[in-house]
Amino acid sequence: MNTQLKKVLVIDDDAVVGQSFDRVLTPQGYKVNTALSGEEALHQMDDQDFDVVFTDIKMPGMNGLEVTGRIRERCPWTPVVVITGYGTDEYEAEAKVLGTRGFVRKPLTPEMIESITLKALEPDTTAAEAQTEPEADTTPATERNTALKNAGLFAKNVGLFIAAPFIGLAYVIALPFVFFGMAAKLGYRALKDRDTRS
């Protein structure tokens, strides 16, 4: 993947964290900017766009989740990843609600920094998947059963309609034989009765 000119913003009041990102990502072709506060980060974002933003949670002034909310309002297409030493379940849940691309607990290794950056820069397919996902069948079972029953009756009626001319033809062909058969039977009985009387 071509990482040339990919711009990364790291927001953390601990300068060492920003330096770590810079040391790992710059040799790979990224341009790393750092900000020591949320206010400073938003000021930088007034002047330039970033491909991905990493933010700490606990910072003086505006905390990382507030910063995330502001970034998502201004640049909803920019992926934001939370990096924190205070990785509680509550913080993680709030970060998800804000639409962050990741929630990573410190300390960070160079491998983690590289991995989370690559992952954050991948296209976000969750929205597309939600749009293309087939809708669940919410039709109640009783309605489905009624529809199937009606379809079965319709098929049966169509079958009878198609078969009706053939059934009528069969009756027309069979009627003379039935008539002659009945006549022969009655004639035979009459002859038999006459012979018995004689």
Please report the pLDDT score of residue 145 as a whole number. Answer: 58
CA atoms within 13 A on the CB side of 35: 24
The tens digit of pLDDT for each residue in 111-126 reads: 999 999 999 999 876 5
- Encode 124-155 in three state secondary structure: CCHHHHHHHCCCCCCCCHHHHHHHHHHHHHHH
Say if residue 119 is in the same domain as residue 175: no
In a domain, 130, yes or no: no
Say if residue 11 is in the same domain as residue 94: yes
The tens digit of pLDDT for each residue in 153-183 reads: 666 665 555 755 665 555 557 556 655 666 6
Say if residue 117 is in the same domain as residue 29: yes
Q: What is the pTM of this model?
A: 0.62
Q: What angle do CA 167, 171, 173 make, to 5 degrees?
A: 115
